[in-house]
Every structure is written in C-alpha cells, then in structure tokens.
Amino acid sequence: MASGWAKDDATSDQIRDSLNDEIRRARSALPQGPGSEYCDECGEKIPEARRKALPGARLCVACQEEADKSAQRTNPYNRKGSKGSQLR
C-alpha cells in the first residue's frame, strides 16, 4: 500500500514540475505575484528589503536595471507603473 502512495507522489511531482515551468514562463512575462528570493537572471539573493518594497521583484537591483533599460528601449510602457494594464 505504501508503494501506491510513493507512485502518486512521483506523479504529482512531475505535474508540479511542469506546472512550475509554466508559472516560471508566465512570470517572466508578467512581473507580479510573490516574486522570487533569488534573482532570475544571475541567481544572486534578492535583499529582503527589496522584496518587501517591490513584492513582484524577481531580479536583483543590477539585473532589474538592465531589464528596465531594455524594456524601455523595446516598450516604453512595459514598466512598473503599468503593471496592472499589462494584465488587461
């Protein structure tokens, strides 16, 4: 009987993994939600103060600046101020 549980766990782990992939992909398009403890870009730990100030932050300060710069270049409206409008 115990093996039945183990199998279920393995299956749901796989489902959870692919779900996490989907979520990660969605998050890279929409900077919102719980954010990340570590920078998506360089893996650096994001300071708690920054995460509190910017709850959707997924990048460290340096990478966020880079992302903001390229976001401004490609889409001037893709900025923090218009977070809501991106979601329609």
What is the contact surface with Zn ion in residues (CB under 5 A)? 39, 41-42, 44, 60, 63
Contact yes or no for 56/35 (Cβ under 8 A): yes
Q: Which is nearer to Zn ion, 39 or 57 (CB)?
A: 39
Taking the C-alpha atoms of residue 81 and residue 37, their distance in angstroms, rounded to an integer, is 22
Q: State in angstroms the smallest separation of the CB of 28 from Zn ion.
A: 13
State the burial class of residue 58 (Cβ atoms within 10 Å of its Cβ: 0-12, 13-18, 19+): buried
Q: How far apart are CA 16 and CA 47, in angstroms?
A: 27
| DSSP strands (E only) in 1-88 | none
Nearer to Zn ion, 50 or 78 (CB): 50
- Give the residue with the Cβ less far from Zn ion, 16 or 80: 80
Could you tell me the smallest distance in angstroms from the CB atom of residue 64 to Zn ion? 8
Q: How far is the CB of 83 from Zn ion (least distance, A)?
A: 20
